[in-house]
Amino acid sequence: MGDTPQRSAHAGTGGITVATGHEWAAGASARVAETPGNPRTPVDNGMGGGGALPRARSFGAERAFRGLTLAAGTAVLVIIAAIAIFLIARAVPALRANTENFWTYEGWSPNEAQPKFGIGTLAFGTVLSSALALLIAVPVALGIALYLSHYAPRRLGTALGFLIDLLAAVPSVVFGLWGRDVFINPVRDFSAWLNEYFGWIPIFGGDGPFGRSIMLGSLVLAIMVLPIITSLSREVFLQTPTANEEAALALGATRWEMIRTAVLPYGRPGVIAAVMLGLGRALGETIALAMTLGITFGVSFNLIQNGGNTIAANIANAFGEANDTGRGALIASGLVLFTITLIVNITARVIIYRRREFTESAA
Amino acid sequence: MSTTVTTHRPRPTAQPTTLRARRLPRYAAPLIALAALLVAAGIVYGTGIGGPVLVVVVAALLYLAGLFAAANAVEGRRAARNRTWSALIHSAFVLAVLPLASVVWTLVSKGVERLDGNFFGTSMNNIGARDPNGGAYHAIVGTLEQVGIATLITVPLGILCAIYVVEYGRGRFSFAIRFFVDVMTGIPSIVSGLFVLAFWVLIVSPMVNDGRPGFSGFAAALALSVLMLPTVVRSTEEMLRLVPAPLREGAYALGVPKWKTILRVVLPTALPGIVTGVMLAIARAAGETAPVLLVAGGGAAINVNPFENNQSSLALFVYQQAGDASKYSPARAWTAALTLVALVLVLTIAAKLLARRNRLGR
């Protein structure tokens, strides 16, 4: 508190003192005048009209606190940079040791004397399972979000929205456990049924065993990202200006027409962002997929046969018996995953920031 | 607008029945549903291609088609579309509730099997494949320590970072921090685990550890704090922005320096919201498996020292028990999962209730 009252005392001195040196202007308070030893005389700071203000201390509490917060802010950037740097540093030796092409080789045996590993099949599995999960989850999630925001009674909608938020917090390992202990049975029956009647379509072909397949993994993933997409889109739908909705209804639109013409266009950027965030979560999901996929290496569009693998699931599965090169190889695959999710997230954020400007200018 | 409607026009002389659009009678929808169910059962059982589940699926499709046709004939195309979409939206809700309800039901029904004192009082040390006992004491200790240390790291760092962004930061640098905090929200947990593995376990800790990789609970805490940091920063940032400007201005007018205004006026006002954000971050971190698997290694014995040797956590315990071949391990896995979900949900619900009581609100 010491410095600010002085500041107000100087405030009245204006610019006169700059010319008069040690002479205090009329506005200076007696208290300041009584302390001739004050080093911060106006002439010292050599400034212009505001020169009577005390110079900020070169090291005060204000400066220190500001520096502290600046350091904390910089830490975020440092962490992101450090993630990239350390992953690259550990990945490069393993990539040098790789005797096969990292992008195209189908297999993962980095622990041998001749390390061979390739990211191709894993990246394919990651993208395939995430894409399928979103394909299933997005329409359902939007349906629930619309139900909660525009169809359900308000009180029920709020309560169920709260419940959906809670489900978004359930750890992925629980979904993984449920997927491999419980959900696998109906999925296996369904796969066998699909294979029997639609086996002529390549994605439902093969002759078993069924169950721990891309389909199970994608369905579990879909169930996991469902609450996230639902809760984000519900918020966006609830923000639709009431005036727009009422205008549509007043023009004689049915409820669905009101949703199509007022709610969906308004919410589109928000929904896209929610889907992208869900995609980011699906791409990075580790444990649930490590527990539900039947880990194999190979590019296959078959959805129902045992198999499938993703980058993250492979890291969790292969980490236990990895040696030094093996760890490096896994870190290299993690780097690829990091890059993919970074691109997805940055795209989502750019969309959100654009929308923010859009809604602010609209309001 | 209401003042202008004063003139009384003569009512049009049309018949009242033509003023209202024709509507399907109330009993139409259940009737169509019943018919769809019967037809579907006839088709499915007649051709013998499936069981009751297929009947329901086919019936749902038939119901949608029938409803559309009936409404189209009586009420017109627009109303028919409205009815069909409405039915679709309701069925999406039912479709999603089924698996989620199944998760909750399985969790509770399978989780109570081992919900006893032994489970919470013992570890998995010396528990072989034929032992029905064994518990998660070591895992609970691990979870609490790791999340506790991660919170100690994250909360000051996150709050200071948010203060910089809201109170001091200007221009491009501050925008970059905000943007990358948002991007950081989406970093997969396994990547943060790999980062700490590369940085702490394999490079930094061997320097003090005679070159051995230092798997420890502390490393897991580091990985968890990378995951918690963006959540804490974002929620704190939002709460700081909600603090009314007159409060700050009042403090400045009294001659309080800025840093003291922030610490004594702004932060206490925003505190409930910040606590909510921190609790949500803790709930997320407590459920993470992958980073703990990579950098804490897991272990069967009780290890209360987070800085040395392997440690387990509840989520990792679930994963390891699920992968175990013993016939007793699924029960342990489900009980641990129930414990974990209870922990996470208590934190989440408390956080949401706190947010609801928050004066600043949204």
Cβ-defined contact of B161 to A175 (cutoff 8 Å): no
* Among A5, A86, A345, beta carbon nearest to B186: A345
What is the pLDDT at residue A13? 43
Cβ-defined contact of A254 to B283 (cutoff 8 Å): no
What is the pLDDT at residue B17? 56
Question: Looking at the domain covering B121-357, what would its CATH class be?
Answer: mainly alpha
Amino acid at B80: A
| Residue A95 with chain B: CB contacts under 8 Å | none
Q: How many CB atoms lie within 10 A of CB A55?
A: 13
What is the pLDDT at residue A183? 92
What is the pLDDT at residue B16? 52
Of B22, B147, B11, the closest CA to residue B76 belongs to B22
Q: How far apart are CA A171 and CA A151, in angstroms?
A: 29
Chain A closest-CA separation from residue B117 CA (Å): 22
CA angle A115–A121–A127, rounded 5-degree value: 140
What is the pLDDT at residue B157? 95
Which of A132-136, A257-261, B45-49, B151-155 has the weakest average pLDDT?
B45-49
Per-residue pLDDT of B278-327, as tens digits, reads: 998 998 899 999 999 999 888 888 888 888 888 899 999 999 998 887 88
Complex prediction ipTM? 0.85
Specify which residues A109 forms β-bridges with.
Answer: A116
**Which of B88, B289, B316, B347 would best serve as a mutation to test chain A binding (most A beta carbons within 10 A)?**
B289
Chain B closest-CA separation from residue A176 CA (Å): 9
**Which of A177, A224, A309, A351 would best serve as a mutation to test chain B binding (most B beta carbons within 10 A)?**
A177
| Residue B211 with chain A: CB contacts under 8 Å | none
Residue A154, φ and ψ in degrees, nearest 5: -55, -45
What is the pLDDT at residue A12? 41
Domains of chain A: 3-45 (no CATH), 108-362 (1.10.3720.10)
Q: In the predicted model, is pLDDT for residue B195 greater than 90? A: yes
Taking every pair of C-alpha atoms in chain A, what is the biggest distance, in angstroms? 102
Residue of B nearest to A331 (CA): B194
Mean pLDDT by 10 residues, chain A (363 residues): 42 41 44 45 49 62 89 92 92 89 86 87 92 94 93 90 86 92 91 87 81 90 92 90 93 92 89 86 90 84 85 90 88 92 84 64 39
What is the pLDDT at residue B165? 92
Host H or E run for residue B261 = helix B258-261
What is the pLDDT at residue A276? 85
B86, two tokens:
């409405």
Answer yes or no: are the C-beta atoms of A169 and B287 closer than 8 Å: yes
Chain B closest-CA separation from residue A335 CA (Å): 8
Query: Which residues fall within 8 angstroms of residue A302, CB to CB, at 6 or more apart?
Result: A202, A203, A204, A205, A206, A213, A214
What is the pLDDT at residue A260? 93
Q: How many CB atoms lie within 10 A of CB A4?
A: 16
What is the pLDDT at residue A298? 79
- Distance between first and last Cα of chain A: 41
Specify which residues B55 forms β-bridges with.
Answer: none
Q: In the predicted model, is pLDDT for residue B211 greater than 90? A: no
Answer yes or no: are the C-beta atoms of A91 and A328 closer than 8 Å: yes
What is the pLDDT at residue B22? 78
What is the pLDDT at residue B148? 94
Percentage of chain B surpassing pLDDT 70?
Answer: 93
Per-residue pLDDT of B138-147, as tens digits, reads: 999 999 999 9
B124 — pLDDT class (breaks 50, 70, 90): confident
Following DSSP, what letter does each residue of A317-343 receive, concatenated? HHSTT--HHHHHHHHHHHHHHHHHHHH
Q: From its phi and psi, is residue B356 left (phi > 0), alpha (psi between -120 and 50) or beta? A: alpha
Residue ranges of domains in chain B: 22-113, 121-357
Mean pLDDT, to the nearest integer, of B181-204? 88
What is the pLDDT at residue B360? 62
What is the pLDDT at residue A357? 58
CB pairs under 8 A between A and B: 271
Cβ-defined contact of B102 to A68 (cutoff 8 Å): no
Cβ-defined contact of B179 to A341 (cutoff 8 Å): no
Q: How many CB atoms lie within 10 A of CB A60?
A: 14
Chain B closest-CA separation from residue A23 CA (Å): 26
